[in-house]
Amino acid sequence: MKNIAKQYLLVLLVALLLNIINAEEWEPITPVFDPAGDSNLHLGTFVNENTGWAVSKCGRIWKTNNGGHNWFMQKDSMGNVFADLDFLDLQCGWLSCYLQYPEVQSILLRTTNGGNSWDTIPLPDTAIAGPFQIAFFDTLEGYAAGWNNEFYYTNNAGTTWQNLTEAKNLFGFIFDIFLLDNLNGWAVGEAYGAYDIGTIISTEGGKSNWEINSPMTYLLKSVHFNNLTLGCAVGYNIYMYGVIMLTRDGGKTWIDKIIDSPVLNDVVYINDSTAWTIGDSGYIWNSQDSGNTWIQVESNTEENLNRIVFVNNNRVGYIFGDNSTILKYTYDMSSIDDNRIPSSFTLYQNYPNPFNPTTTIGYGLSQVSDVSISIYDIVGRKLREWIFGDQTSGWYEVVWDGQDKYGREVSTGLYIYMMKADGFFDTKKMMFLK
């Protein structure tokens, strides 16, 4: 019987490992639209786990109050092409778009009531019609950058704009702006006058103090900083392979990496060690060592993925892609209510995952039970085990430090953890990174 049980376990482990790590973590959401029929969402954002906004290629603005499952239309702007959106909170948000009818014109739309109404904020007369990227620090202070060497600053919600490229004329075509605070920011895109060279600009004083940071880079589509020193920019090279650029000194120097991926479209840090980047053809990559190494994560889609955002203290993530693709990532431990008795036995996905040096495994018991939590390597060897007798109903967790029962640190790789409790049996996979 022991040999049969061991063989069954090995078969189960192999079956689990046939899939890319964390396939269960990003789960698709099938959106329902009111009015029905829209299937062209491509860009969106959330301010918490429930409330978010998205735009469609047919010129409509949508809002959800239940985490992306149901969307109701707030504005039908036929003839508008949306390029970017930025929400500060539940009430205040911005959308950049350019009108195609009756004449081509670039504008910003602003809401101060959660999207119930939108005000039109004209860009300067010098602005060339086309896509603009936007980033606002608060309701008054923000930036707008175009694809034609245009970079503007406002401190009065767009009533007036200062052209930051008038003196330098070197910024190029900006594809993304990230503000760490009102004094420190970065922007990336294409170099001015060149269509195969990227650029990075930055400010340490805000307002008009933007300077060329790295004028000769790969073509970059997104940038994000976790703090004043650690940052990452992503994009592509002339062969359309994904490029990741990493800095640990605030952008003074950059280390670049070409990865086996199509164009990368967005990147985000959620803490000092964990970062995510997404790209065309459904590619998702995760780093657990501040961006030094990246592991592909299954998305179960081949649609181009355009925007990634994390909310609720970075415990819940959303990805927006073409053709109304919406993916959700949840660290299950964030939703545990210690005062609510579980309705069934449950084994949660460990957090963080991948991890180094420690990870937390959570589980719930609906009744009194003996419980065991075991960790196995990919060949079925048991590395660690916790045994608890007569645990009452409720929520529990164990922390694994990446060591076996002899105190030896395990090597980088895939591992399986298993829970047994009163006839209940479940397994999940995780990855340890050195």
pLDDT tens digits, 143-181: 999 877 889 999 999 889 998 886 555 678 899 999 998
Which of 2-6, 271-275, 322-326, 425-429 has the weakest average pLDDT?
A: 2-6
Distances (CA, A) of 144 to 102, 148, 385: 23, 12, 55
The half-sphere exposure of 257 on its side-chain side, counting CA atoms within 13 A, is 15
Please determine, for residue 12, whether its predicted confidence score (pLDDT) is greater than 70. no
In the chain, the percentage of residues whose pLDDT exceeds 70 is 88
Note the pLDDT of residue 195: 66
Note the pLDDT of residue 173: 87
Please determine, for residue 19, whether its predicted confidence score (pLDDT) is greater than 70. no
Question: Which CATH code fits 26-333?
Answer: 2.130.10.10
Query: Where do the structural domains in the chain lie, given as residue ranges?
Result: 2-17+338-432, 26-333
Please determine, for residue 86, whether its predicted confidence score (pLDDT) is greater than 70. yes
- Does the domain at 2-17+338-432 match CATH 3.90.1170.50? Answer given as no
Average the pLDDT over 251-266 and give the result: 93
Q: Flag whether the pTM goes above 0.75.
A: no
Q: Confidence band (pLDDT; 50, 70, 90) for 197?
A: confident
Please determine, for residue 1, whether its predicted confidence score (pLDDT) is greater than 50. no
Fold match between domain 2-17+338-432 and domain 26-333: no
Chain center to CA of 365: 32
Average the pLDDT over 2-9 and give the result: 50
Q: Are 240 and 259 in contact (CB under 8 A)?
A: no
Note the pLDDT of residue 133: 93
Q: Are 138 and 158 in contact (CB under 8 A)?
A: no
Higher local confidence (pLDDT), 320 or 23: 320
DSSP class of residue 18 equals T
Please determine, for residue 62, whether its predicted confidence score (pLDDT) is greater than 60. yes
